[in-house]
Structure 1
């Protein structure tokens, strides 16, 4: 899925950006945008479930396709492991192409293809409006799901950077009958819609293997006042940790928000293994305890911020296909900072340095080895797995031949003719 479009390492001015928090804000705006589309809907997501959210998305996409809108959907084969025949048939009948990235059958009910997942969450409508973030199409992003409902973020974008998002998303669409990327007959030019500068950066396994990580690290090294990172899965490499520690030691207030009530215990154990190393440098660590935290956002100083799909762990930084937007806009940064302040003051527990054990002597000796492994992980990860992931069209199974009808067409006492392969 290499993007062969226009260069992406450029900031685009003249954009309007709006923060969307949780499914209540995100789903409403995405469905409105799909309903308003007249030419094209491009949608990529890691998870699409056949629950009340997935079925509502299903309805809006079909309505769009029936009024002549081209609808292209890409889901991940690990995150979205299967769909009912009726679900797929309705999409196919409406003319919607839904493709599945790197689909594999499970083994004894266990899904094993955990590497190189298509983890992006992008929507683009008519090349005019786009959404990027970490929110999937599942009911657990709504508060009424209960105590395990996820806390998460996305951003709505309008303006020239939508051209980059549209070109990037289209590049993953194969033409019918060929492996070549589909290209529209004409591209639209998005007029300025605001004053925000926005940069789209993907992470892939071709040309942009470290683009998101390096943009983070550049901003951290340039920070002068404050760094706030709220990320669900935190286990970055040695260089990233070193940049955070150096920022704290030169007087920058570095605050990290992690999961306190995680959806997986491994995520918490991995992050907590780094607490002592960060706290000793003066980094402030907070655990969000109201419900599972699924966000991937950050604010640095007064203008720089990011929202996207990329966690700060080995899977996102070294293996998965990800997409973040980076934003330079004081008003947006202040708004996101205020939302994160609300979490810190109401729903977070600050980690006290005295409560984190220093570990036994052998841990002091093995810590440098751990950091060395973290630093080298991106290189090693390139070897796993060896196969090249691909996308396959998701279609309902063909109807089985009607055996009764076939038999009825043969004379009595004779067998039905053998079917040619």
Structure 2
């Protein structure tokens, strides 16, 4: 049963300029253990900076587990990987798969989480990947995104989760009895050396819940927390989400909240990194505007955030979009925060986006739909609005964490795929 954990401190990190220095500084100060999960790791200036700080930590004897997604991070060179593994970093690839005629085949049910835990005392959760397109100097395609730095007892919950994920993935990958035995011995040896672990002391006043989505027991947890917050809202709800096409129940709660007088604001992509993102969201505009939901398109650069605030205390930051991939297929992680100060800060940052970088969409701005658009939208909406049901038909499997491919196999066409697999990050 998920419960609120008190005594935490949350520090909002907006964009790579705030996020990367804090993560790298934390890893540089690690004494015992670093666990990193990410969907995308590119071999650019950001990825190389992470690479360097992990190598330095490993050289000090810090135990490091780095998990990347096989679909999101296919372009790392053999030299990049081998330097890590030779230094003792345990590199894991989530569900790697061979290519078919040059195409990546492992599309569904990706490991989309972005988590860092350092010495079981400090954690980072959010939506920022390790790639240069999260920095403003990348140019017009630089992403707008958020993460949080966390201290306090909730870090124990996050730490336990990442270790459970590592253990489960390794067990699923080690199909032979000997392989499973080796993994159990290694994990047991690690547990015996964790005398350094202590319960983090209270660090602040915030209560929090760490919420994840998987394909087994927690298939709708993140969406459910969104619905609970919207249903309980009395004054305002502000949701900034990059990939927006939620299911029927979440849309219904937004419309109901707006109709009972709650100010419901959506901040969506106005300059999308994929054209289909805006097309899909546009199909919902009439439906939402007619109930009083306010829609703003962020037009300064691509929006990649997955954050929200409700009333004066509830907030969430994480990796989960509000689309079929995140809500019904991918492995995701959000932190739900109950804290007035954090709510006010995040709310102010979102208000700044609305006031200075967004265009409000009104019903009069929408092009009159032809009969074909009406018909198409009807079928697409009713198909996707029930995606939690049909998503279960897609292939499901136990997550596997594999070591990286041998150098001869690891080399892939770097760069050509980066646009396509970064889009849904």
Which structure 2 residues correspond to residues 46-57 of structure 1 after superposition, within 5 A?
46-57=39-50
Matched, 1:127 2:123: no
Tell me how far apart the structure 2 counterparts of residues 36 and 209 of structure 1 sit (CA, whole Å): 36
**Are 2:162 and 1:169 equivalent residues in the alignment?**
yes
Cα distance in 1 for residues equivalent to 2:408 and 2:140: 41
Quick check: 1:195 aligned with 2:168?
no
**How far apart, in 1, do the equivalents of 2:326 and 2:408 lie?**
37
How much is the aligned-residue C-alpha RMSD, in angstroms? 1.9
Secondary structure, counterpart of 1:38 in structure 2: coil
- Work out which of the residue numbers 301, 323, 330 in structure 1 matches 2:333: 323
Task: Tell me the SS of whatever aligns to 2:142.
Answer: coil
Residue aligning to 2:423: none
Q: Give the 3-state SS of the residue equivalent to 1:341 in structure 2.
A: helix
Aligned with residue 306 of structure 2, among 290, 296, 300: 296
Aligned length: 392
Partner of 2:37: 44
The answer on whether the counterparts of 2:215 and 2:396 sit within 8 Å (CA) in structure 1 is: no
Partner of 2:136: 143
Deviation of the 1:110 alpha carbon = 2.2
Structure 2 CA distance for aligned equivalents of residues 270 and 366 of structure 1: 11
8 Å contact 1:116–1:319 — kept in the other structure? yes
CA contact (8 A) 2:9 2:150 kept: yes
Q: Which of 329, 354, 358 pairs up with 2:364?
A: 354
8 Å Cα contact 1:89/1:395 also seen in 2: no
Contact 1:31 1:57 in 2 (8 A): yes
How far apart, in 2, do the equivalents of 1:395 and 1:374 lie?
Answer: 36
Preserved CA contact (<8 Å) 2:211 2:334: yes
- Secondary structure in 1 matching 2:210: strand
Match of 1:278 among 284, 288, 306: 288
- Residue of structure 2 in register with 1:75 after alignment: 68
In structure 1, the residue matched to 2:91 is 98
Aligned counterparts, 1:30-41, within 5 A: 30-41=23-34
Which is richer in helix? 2
**Structure of greater Rg:** 1
Deviation at 1:208, TM superposition (A): 0.3
Confirm or deny that 1:393 pairs with 2:386: no
Which residue in the other structure is 1:11 paired with? 4
User: Secondary structure of the equivalent of 2:103?
Assistant: coil
Per-residue deviation at 1:362?
Answer: 6.3
Tell me: CA distance 1:320–1:392, structure 2 relative to 1, closer, same or farther (3 Å): same
The 3-state SS of whatever aligns with 1:327 is strand
Find the counterpart in structure 2 of residue 341 from structure 1.
351
Q: 1:255 maps to which residue?
A: 265
Residue 63 of structure 1 aligns to a residue in which SS?
A: helix
Counterpart residue number, 1:3: none
Shift of 1:394: 1.4
Cα separation, 1, equivalents of 2:187 and 2:246:
35
- The answer on whether the counterparts of 1:276 and 1:357 sit within 8 Å (CA) in structure 2 is no
Q: Contact 2:283–2:377 at 8 Å: present in 1 too?
A: no
Check conservation: 1:173, 1:182, Cα contact below 8 A.
no
User: What is the CA deviation profile of residues 302-337 of structure 1, one whole-angstrom value per residue up to 9, with x for unaligned ones?
Assistant: 000000000000000000000000000000000001
Does 1:113 find its partner at 2:123? no
Alpha-carbon distance between aligned partners in 2 of 1:363 and 1:394, rounded to the nearest angstrom: 46
Q: Is the 8 A contact 1:223 1:301 kept in 2?
A: yes
Cα distance in 1 between the residues matched to 2:405 and 2:53: 19
Q: 1:358 to 1:103 in 2, by over 3 A?
A: same
Q: Which runs of 5+ in 1 are unaligned?
A: 1-6, 400-421
CA deviation profile, 1:375-407 (whole Å, cap 9, x unmatched): 4311211221255442211154389xxxxxxxx
Using the TM superposition, give the Cα deviation of residue 111 of structure 1 relative to its aligned residue in structure 2, in angstroms: 1.9
Report the CA distance between 1:190 and its aligned residue: 1.0
Deviating 4+ runs (over 6 angstroms): none
Deviations 1:80-100 (A, max 9, x none): 013211111110111001110
Secondary structure of the residue aligned to 2:395 is coil
Q: 1:105: how far off?
A: 2.1
Task: Give the direction of change, closer, same or farther, for the CA distance of 1:245–1:73 in structure 2 (3 Å limit).
Answer: same
Residue 217 (structure 1) aligns with: 227
Give the SS at the match of 1:273.
Answer: helix
Does 2:227 align with 1:234?
Answer: no
Q: Name the CA distance, whole Å, in 2 between partners of 1:318 and 1:390.
A: 19
Residue 366 of structure 1: CA displacement?
Answer: 6.6
Give me the whole-angstrom Cα distance separating, in 2, the residues matched to 1:65 and 1:234. Answer: 39
Residue aligning to 2:315: 305
